[in-house]
Structure 1
Amino acid sequence: MGPAAGLVALLAVLALRAGDPSGAAARGDTFSALTSVARALAPERRLLGLLRRYLRGEEARLRDLTRFYDKVLSLHEDSATPVSNPLLAFTLIKRLQSDWRNVVHSLEASENIRALKDGYEKVEQDLPAFEDVEGAARALMRLQDVYMLNVKGLARGVFQRVAGSAVTDLYSPRRLFSLTADDCFQVGKVAYDMGDYYHAIPWLEEAVSLFRGSYGEWKTEDEASLEDALDHLAFAYFQAGNVSCALSLSREFLLYSPDNKRMARNVLKYEKLLAESPNQVVAEAVIQRPNVPHLQTRDTYEGLCQTLGSQPIHYQIPSLYCSYETNSSPYLLLQPIRKEVIHLEPYVVLYHDFVSDMEAQKIRGLAEPWLQRSVVASGEKQLPVEYRISKSAWLKDTVDPLLVNLDHRIGALTGLDVQPPYAEYLQVVNYGIGGHYEPHFDHATVTMGRQPAPCTE
């Protein structure tokens, strides 16, 4: 907004919720907005339909194979069946010469799977890219850090903060959903590939634990195996300085894959390192959490997120109060705004019901088709960054009369000119999985001086 000092932060929150948007998200940006995540449900429903048709085709094929099997088996089980019967003799020869060949070389199975693959290829362009998997995995790590969530709890679908012996339930989803061993492995591997062993190790440990519990069970959808998890976890521990754990896991790997020469060489290397430095057997490496971006205020920022009900209650601080606000504007005389002072330094005010539910819903609908990955200024370029995970859209007041009324309301309350060039257009933001915007300066350049707090959408 235009330069002015002491502007009250206008917290008229328009929290975008998952709707039924039109159009597809850009590949690689699905994770950055919950509306895009919700949009991914549509192609999966199409895939479910394709799989249902495939299963029905396979069930019919297997019923036919079962019929053939039962027919032939009944002939073999009937010891009284004489081969001297010319009809039986003929059918035996025919079965062995052609029937079995037709069964074994039937194209029905390949036709069923071909139809499934063709359908998948038509949907594939609407599916999230691997960058989305990476982004979603990093989002889980971000939630893990900011709220001090326990990885074992997350794997079970429980959002718990563990601090020493104290366990606090932070969120209880309506439906408990657990992660698989392969899910945990993929999260750990994203951190592993970034060289972030602080996050990789607990996720890979959980993957190893789950793979051990289901060893021998084959799941079509899994990419990884117990051997993969052991391999990555062993090297992660080695990189973190825990040679003893790396050796133990590498030896376990060789129990399942004894012919793996690379792992055998690793075992010899770890044994040599421990022989040369016996103290490393009991040494526990302390893995530091990556400080990216480097934020001096990170602990304070995350502490605010972790603290429930941290705002003082009004009766505790008399200078915090509620009132009806008109700002001496005729526009607000008949319908004043409900004002709540929630902080003095800096001065922050919350205006309740500044935007009605119907207005918010309409604004979300207007913004939905225009949502794009949020960016930050980097020199002359606008770039997406890891410390801002969201999508945003800018709405001019010419889009709908509702926006004109909203501008009038903001202007009446603040006394400021909210038209360009003194103000930006209305920005609507939808945050993604673990969506956030790290603490930052809101002014574009140093020469602009102190900029007032923006209207928060």
Structure 2
Amino acid sequence: MGTERIGNRIVIAGLTPARGQPAEPNHTRASQEGPPKPHHHPHHHHHPTTPLIPIPSFRSLPFFLPPTAASGRGMRAVGVLGLGALLAWLPPAHTDTFSALRSVRQARSNEGRLLRRLRAYLREESARLRRLSRFYEKVRALHQDPGASVDNPLLAFSLIKRLSSDWPSVIYSNEATENSHALHVGFQELQGELPGAEDLDGAARALMRLQDVYALSVKGMANGLFQPTSTDRPPLYSPGRRVSLSADDCFHVGKVAYETGDYYHSIAWLEEAVSRFRLSYGSWNPEEERGSLEDALDYLAFSYFMAGNISRALTLSKEFLNYDPSNQRVTRNVAKYKKLLATHGDRMGTPLQRPNATQLQNRDAYEELCQGLGAQMAPEQPSHLGCSYETNGSPYLLLQPAKKETLRLQPYIVLYHDFVSDAEAETIKGLAGPWLQRSVVASGEKQQKVEYRISKSAWLKDTADPVVRALELRMAAITGLDLRPPYAEYLQVVNYGLGGHYEPHFDHATSRKSPLYRMKSGNRIATVMIYLSAVEAGGSTAFIYANFSVPVVKNAALFWWNLRRNGDGDGDTLHAGCPVLAGDKWVANKWIHEYGQEFRRPCSQDPQD
């Protein structure tokens, strides 16, 4: 069961428009020119900029035809000894690999298996090519030897034999096909587990999310650095091995943004792609052949055009024509750009602004807390906060009291250190791992995958393992609440993926129509969240209105009340899971409901209580 997102969109009340392929306007010239039509995005309410001329008038001009993958010259397969056909063997792959790091690790393991297959293929092919090379050198030597005349009957016989027997064996040999087939079989064995196009696009969106939330420089990210755009701040994360992105990598991220009408991000990433393509232009690189300098210029020019920067679009289109002067579509666009500039002048629209695709309120406060820039000091006197050993009147805790750190009094939030052991955490992750599914949120009476929650989750009953049962008893002891079904939900185990996050939301229901009430045990009165792993950077739990964040503390448990004593939801508990910048974040959530707690946390009619 998902929790409830708030903001301009309340998921309990209604659905967000699907982020599918946008509708396309009617362009009468499109079928004649060949290139596909520009995209129109009716659900993008936050256009990146206010251009000089309204975008609808741009789109009504039939000469302006944008690039898509179908029109690119660089989208070529690498056809070496049949390797280019490998992708044709792959059916639609399992998706959501990007949404949990466990799945990403499995994908890496699968690539290792493919690597071993490729090594075997290369070994067999190398042996085959060595034999061909020896045959070639032998025949070439005979042709270059003046004394090797066919007047010699032995040489004449050898020539006839080669042409009638040896050469057909070379030309019609099945050995290359057999080697390639063995590699194809290796792919087929893993085809259902390999990431697909949706995963690649999800990974691209994750990079843009990290760029935004942590204010990272695109150039820095492309160079393997996690450096904020503000140069006076140290890197947020320094990996042991620096990995740079290729020009084609940057091109794909920019193209994903372009295809959703997000020109703020498409321009930033395509500029970096163009810069990198220029450095390697003319040199053959299989990895970069899939996206060429011309393709990147094409997409970048149209991104600037859609953002209202006609002058920049014209400059890039002219550069494009230097490499592909016969392209009629871009030639027509150049003429139209010149006409627009002559008519309206070189005036710019407002600067590009980052789109708010998920309609998130308090975005700035949320991101500052994730970056560690928000206010962290509590207004209460320090004497009311701090650390203590806690038994909570429970015999269960007498011999080993809980290590309690009070973080806030309003809302009441405490952190229990060393709540689970390393072995217990690994057991919980191991139990949940095979059952992980993409996390969903409640929307009316349905549950759906959403961009503002990227993770996978599984549910564990207390009968799943003695460790789960022991954990339930421990949570009951520290909270003093009844966790027996149906007074609490099963333990939810969550693994975050690439840029995995959960934007600001409440754990409690904000509408009586919420699926939470189907349990017939009231609203969620409290939350226990256990950090089952450490991360290298990011992943904090940010409480937006309380204006502080809690970093990931391995094996610790975070507890807070979702409801006031009078039964109303506590608005100060609005919280978020910040994107994981680096590391493998696992948490376990226990949501406790109102029913069964009547004498454990008595109600109050005081509106302030």
Q: Deviations over 1:26-77 (max 9, x none)?
A: 8111111111111112321221122112111221122112112211222233
2:250 to 165, 184, 202: 184
Structure 2 residue corresponding to 1:412, chosen from 464, 474, 477 = 477
The answer to which structure has the higher helix fraction is 1
Alignment of 1:50-65 (within 5 A): 50-65=117-132
Residue 4 of structure 1 corresponds to none
2:221 corresponds to 1:148: no
CA distance in 2, matches of 1:274, 1:98: 70
Q: Check whether the contact 1:162–1:168 (CA below 8 A) recurs between aligned residues.
A: no
Residues 305-344 of structure 1: per-residue CA shift (max 9 Å, x gap) = 1116964499993432111111122221111111111223
Alpha carbons of structure 1 residues 132 and 411: separation in structure 2 relative to 1, 3 Å: same
What SS class does the counterpart of residue 159 from structure 1 fall into?
A: coil
Specify the SS of the correspondent of 2:235.
Answer: strand
Does 1:455 find its partner at 2:520?
no
Question: How far apart in 1 are the matches of 2:189 and 2:477?
Answer: 52
Cα deviation for residue 145 of structure 1 reads 0.5
Alignment CA distance shift 1:308-1:289 (3 Å) = closer
Q: Select which of 93, 99, 106 maps to 1:32.
A: 99
Partner letter of residue 275 of structure 2?
S
Paired with 2:130 and 2:183, the residues of 1 have a C-alpha distance of 20
Tell me the residue number matched to 2:269.
203
Q: Counterpart of 1:16?
A: none
Task: Give 1:128 shift.
Answer: 1.0
Task: Report the Cα distance in structure 2 between the residues aligned to 1:414 and 1:392, rounded to whole angstroms.
Answer: 24
* Higher relative contact order (CA closer than 8 Å, sequence separation 6+): 1
Q: Per the alignment, do residues 381 and 314 of structure 1 end up closer, same or farther by CA in structure 2, a change over 3 Å counting?
A: closer
1:340 aligns to what SS in structure 2? strand
Q: What is residue 311 of structure 2 aligned with on the other side?
A: 244
8 Å Cα contact 1:314/1:321 also seen in 2: no
In 2, Cα distance between equivalents of 1:220 and 1:118: 23
| Superposition deviation, residue 221 in structure 1 | 4.4
- Whether 1:272 and 2:339 are equivalent positions in the alignment is yes
The range that moved more, 109-118 or 225-234, is 109-118
1:396–1:187 CA distance, 2 compared to 1 (3 A): same
CA distance in 2, matches of 1:454, 1:239: 46
SS of residue paired to 1:343: strand
2: CA distance, partners of 1:285 / 1:72: 71
Match of 1:286 among 332, 337, 351: 351
| Paired AA for residue 75 in structure 1 | L
Q: Is the partner of 1:455 in helix, strand or coil?
A: strand
2:76 maps to which residue? none
**Does 1:193 find its partner at 2:259?**
yes
Residue of structure 1 equivalent to 2:205: 138
The aligned runs of 1:29-428 (5 Å cut-off) are 29-96=96-163, 99-163=166-230, 165-222=231-288, 223-280=290-347, 283=348, 286-307=351-372, 311-312=376-377, 317-428=382-493
1:103 Cα shift? 3.2
Mean Cα displacement is larger for which, 34-43 or 78-87? 78-87
CA change 1:288–1:309 in 2 (3 A) is closer
Task: Map Cα deviations across residues 102-145 of structure 1 (whole Å, 9 max, x no partner).
Answer: 43444333332233223323321210121111111111111110
Tell me the distance in 1 between the aligned counterparts of 2:265 and 2:449. Answer: 23
Q: Which amino acid aligns with 1:256?
A: Y
SS in 2 for 1:182: helix
Query: Could you tell me how far 1:171 is from its partner in structure 2?
Result: 0.5
Query: Does the 8 Å contact 1:314/1:320 carry over to 2?
Result: no
CA distance in 2: counterparts of 1:290 and 1:82, whole angstroms: 78
1:331-362 Cα distance to aligned partner (Å, 9 max, x none): 21111111111223322211111111111111
Tell me, in whole angstroms, the C-alpha distance in 2 between the residues paired with 1:181 and 1:160.
19
Q: Residue 376 of structure 1: CA displacement?
A: 0.8
Query: Counterparts of 2:225 and 2:322 in 1: how far apart (Å)?
Result: 33
Higher mean C-alpha deviation, range 291-300 or range 311-320:
311-320
Task: Give the whole-Å Cα distance in 1 for the aligned partners of 2:170 and 2:282.
Answer: 30
Listed one character per residue, the Cα deviations across residues 380-430 of structure 1 (whole Å, up to 9, x for unaligned) are 111111111111111111112222222221112111111122211111111
Q: Distance in 1 between matches of 2:299 and 2:233?
A: 29
Does the C-alpha gap of structure 1 residues 170 and 364 become closer, same or farther in structure 2, counting only changes over 3 Å?
same
Residue 42 (structure 2) aligns with: none
| Cα displacement (A) at 1:268 | 1.2
- Gapped regions of structure 1 (runs ≥ 5): 2-25
Structure 1 stretch 143-152 or stretch 268-277: which is displaced more? 268-277
Provide the secondary structure at the position in 2 that maps to 1:382: strand
* Alpha carbons 2:310, 2:346 under 8 Å: kept: no
CA RMSD of aligned residues (A): 2.5
TM-score computed with the length of structure 1 as normaliser: 0.88
Q: 8 Å contact 1:311–1:342 — kept in the other structure?
A: no
Contact 1:149 1:161 in 2 (8 A): yes
Question: What SS does the corresponding residue of 1:27 show, helix, strand or coil?
Answer: coil
- Gaps (5+ residues) in structure 2? 2-92, 530-587, 589-609
Which whole-Å CA distance do the structure 2 matches of 1:271 and 1:330 have between them? 82
- Whether the aligned pair in 2 keeps the contact of 1:394 and 1:428 (CA below 8 Å) is yes
Q: Which amino acid aligns with 2:114?
A: L
Cα distance in 1 for residues equivalent to 2:350 and 2:378: 44
The 8 Å contact of residues 388 and 405 in structure 2, kept in 1 or not, is answered as yes
The alignment covers a number of residue pairs equal to 430
Tell me if structure 2 keeps the 8 A contact 1:254–1:260: yes
Please give the secondary structure, in 1, of the residue aligned with 2:361: coil
Distance 2:526 2:367 in 1: 21
Contact 1:240/1:285 (8 A) holds in 2: no
Compared CA separation, residues 139 and 155, structure 1 to 2 (3 A): same
Partner SS for 2:503: coil
User: What is the deviation of 1:96?
Assistant: 4.9
Match for 1:120: what amino acid?
A: F
Distance 2:310 2:374 in 1: 44
Q: Percent identity?
A: 63
Instruction: Determine if the alignment matches structure 1 residue 430 to structure 2 residue 495.
Output: yes
- Indicate if the aligned counterparts of 1:242 and 1:285 stay in contact, CA closer than 8 A: no
